[in-house]
Structure 1
Amino acid sequence: MDKDKRKSGEESEKEVLCMATNKSVKRPTVAIAGASGFVGRALLDRLLRDYRVIGLTRDGERSEIAVAEGALDLEWRRADLFSLPEIENGLQGVEYAFYLVHSMMPSARLTQGKFQDMDVILADNFARAARKAGVKQIIYLGGLIPEDADELCGYLHSRFEVEQTLRSYEVPVTALRTGLVVGANSSSFCVIPQLIRSLPVMICPSWMSSKTHPIALQDVVELLVACIGRKKVYGQSLNVGGPDTLTYNEMILEAARIMGKKCRLYPVPLSIPTISSLWITSVTGISHKLVRPLVGSLTHSLVAGRRWLQEETEISGLTFEQSARIALEEKRTRRKKANAYSCISNVRSVQRLMLPEGRSAAWTGKNYVQWLSHNLRPFIKVEEVGGRLHFLLFGIKKPLLELTYSAERSTEEHILYYITGGLLAHDDNILRRGRLEFREVLNGQYVMVAIHEFIPRLPWLLYRMTQALAHLWVMHRYGRYLRRKAERSNVKKESRVKG
Structure 2
Amino acid sequence: MRTEQKKRPVVALSGASGYIGSRLLEKLKKSFDIIALSRSGDKRENTEQVTWRSCDLFSQVDTEKGLKGADIAVYLVHSMKPSAKLTQASFEDMDVILADNFAQAAKKNGIKQIVYLSGIIPPEEKLSRHLRSRLEVEKILGSYGVPVTTIRAGLIVGPKGSSFPIAEKLVNRLPVMILPSWTRTKTHPIALADVLTALQKSVGNRDVDNKAIDVGGPEVMTYKELLQNLAHVMGKNFRSVNVPFPTVNLSRLWVSLVSGMPKETVYPLIESLSHPMVASKSHYAEGISDGRVTFEKAAKQALKEEAQSISSSSKKPKIPSLPPRQDVRSVQRMPLPSGKDAGWAARHYMNWVSESLRPFVRTEVDEQLNCKIYLSFMQKPLLILSYAKERSTSHRALYYITGGLFANAKESQQGRIEFRQIPGKQEIIVAIHEYLPALPWIVYKYTQAPIHMIVMFLYRRHLEKLINQREPAPSARKLAGQH
Whole-angstrom distance in 2 between the partners of 1:429 and 1:174: 40
* Alignment CA distance shift 1:497-1:40 (3 Å): farther
Matching of residue 220 in structure 1 with residue 195 in structure 2: yes
Aligned to 1:306: 281
Residue in structure 1 matching 2:427, options 435, 441, 446: 446
Give the structure 1 partner of residue 436 of structure 2: 455
Q: Tell me which residue corresponds to 1:230.
A: 205
Correspondent of 1:113 among 84, 89, 92: 89
Name the SS for the 1:66 alignment partner.
coil
The corresponding residue for 2:111 is 135
Answer with 1 or 2: which has the greater Rg.
1
> 1:193-214: CA deviations, max 9, x gaps?
2112211211111111111110
| Maintained 8 Å contact 2:102/2:141 | yes
Q: 2-side partners of 1:315 and 1:183: how far apart? A: 17
Q: 1:429 and 1:442, CA in 2 relative to 1: closer, same or farther beyond 3 A?
A: farther
Is 40-49 or 378-387 further displaced after alignment?
378-387
Match of 2:463 among 464, 475, 482: 482
Quote the sequence identity (%).
44
The CA deviation string for residues 101-149 of structure 1, in whole angstroms up to 9 with x for no partner, is 111100001111211000111101100100000000111111111111x
Give, in whole Å, the separation in 1 of the partners of 2:271 and 2:427: 25
- Residue 45 (structure 2) pairs with residue 66 (structure 1): yes
Aligned match for 1:98, one of 74, 94, 99:
74
1:275 corresponds to 2:250: yes
Choose between structure 1 and 2: higher helix proportion: 1
Q: Secondary structure at the match of 1:139?
A: strand
- Counterpart residue type for residue 348 of structure 2: N
1:417 counterpart = 2:417: no
Secondary structure of the residue that 1:34 maps to in structure 2? coil
Give the Å deviation of 1:307: 7.2
Aligned to 1:82: 58
C-alpha contact 2:36 2:52 (8 A) present in aligned 1: yes
1:379 to 356, 360, 371: 360
CA distance in 2, matches of 1:361, 1:449: 9
User: Residue type of the partner of 2:166?
Assistant: V
Instruction: Quote the Cα distance in structure 1 between the aligned partners of 2:323 and 2:133.
Output: 25
For 1:434, the aligned partner's letter is: G
Structure-2 separation of matches of 1:212 and 1:88: 38
1:17 is matched with none
Residue 266 (str. 1) matches residue 241 (str. 2) = yes
Written as runs of structure 1 = structure 2, the 5 A alignment for 1:166-177 is 166-177=141-152
Q: Which stretch shifts more, 383-392 or 371-380? A: 383-392
For residues 283 and 159 of structure 1, the distance between their equivalents in structure 2, rounded to whole angstroms, comes to: 26
The C-alpha deviation readout for 1:205-242, integer Å capped at 9, x for no partner, is 11111111101111111111111222221111111111
Counterpart check, 1:56 vs 2:31: no
Aligned equivalents of 2:465, 2:255: Cα separation in 1: 40
For residues 378 and 396 of structure 2, the distance between their equivalents in structure 1, rounded to whole angstroms, comes to 32
My pick for the range that moved more, 267-276 or 483-492, is: 483-492
Q: In the TM superposition, what is the alpha-carbon distance from 1:39 to its structure 2 partner?
A: 1.1
Flag the 1:316–1:114 CA change in 2: closer, same or farther, 3 A.
Answer: closer
Matched, 1:294 2:230: no
SS at match of 1:415: strand
Aligned residue among 442, 455, 467 for 2:448: 467
3-state SS in 1 of match to 2:23: helix
In structure 1, C-alpha distance between the alignment counterparts of 2:436 and 2:367, rounded to whole Å: 24
DSSP 3-state at the match of 1:141: strand
State the Cα distance separating 1:299 from its structure 2 match. Answer: 0.9
Q: CA RMSD in A?
A: 2.0
What's 2:333 paired with? 352
Instruction: Say which is worse superposed, 278-287 or 350-359, in terms of deviation.
Output: 278-287
Distance 1:125 1:229 in 2: 22
Q: Which runs of 5+ in 1 are unaligned?
A: 1-19
Counterpart amino acid of residue 438 in structure 2: R
Q: 1:333 is matched with which residue?
A: 308
Q: 1 CA distance for matches of 2:446 and 2:123? A: 44
Partners of 1:345 and 1:455 within 8 A in 2 = yes
Is residue 213–residue 285 contact of structure 2 (8 Å, CA) maintained in 1?
Answer: no
Preserved contact between residue 428 and residue 455 of structure 1 (Cα < 8 Å): no
- Aligned residue pairs total 472
Secondary structure at the counterpart of residue 270 of structure 1 = coil
Structure 1 residue 172: deviation in Å? 0.5
Q: Measure the CA separation in 1 of the matches of 2:424 and 2:453.
A: 25
Structure 2 distance, partners of 1:322, 1:85, is 44
Name the SS for the 1:145 alignment partner. coil
Give me the whole-angstrom Cα distance separating, in 1, the residues matched to 2:402 and 2:14: 30
- Using structure 1 for the length normalisation, give the TM-score: 0.90
Amino acid at match of 1:441: I
**Is 2:215–2:288's contact at 8 Å kept on the other side of the alignment?**
no
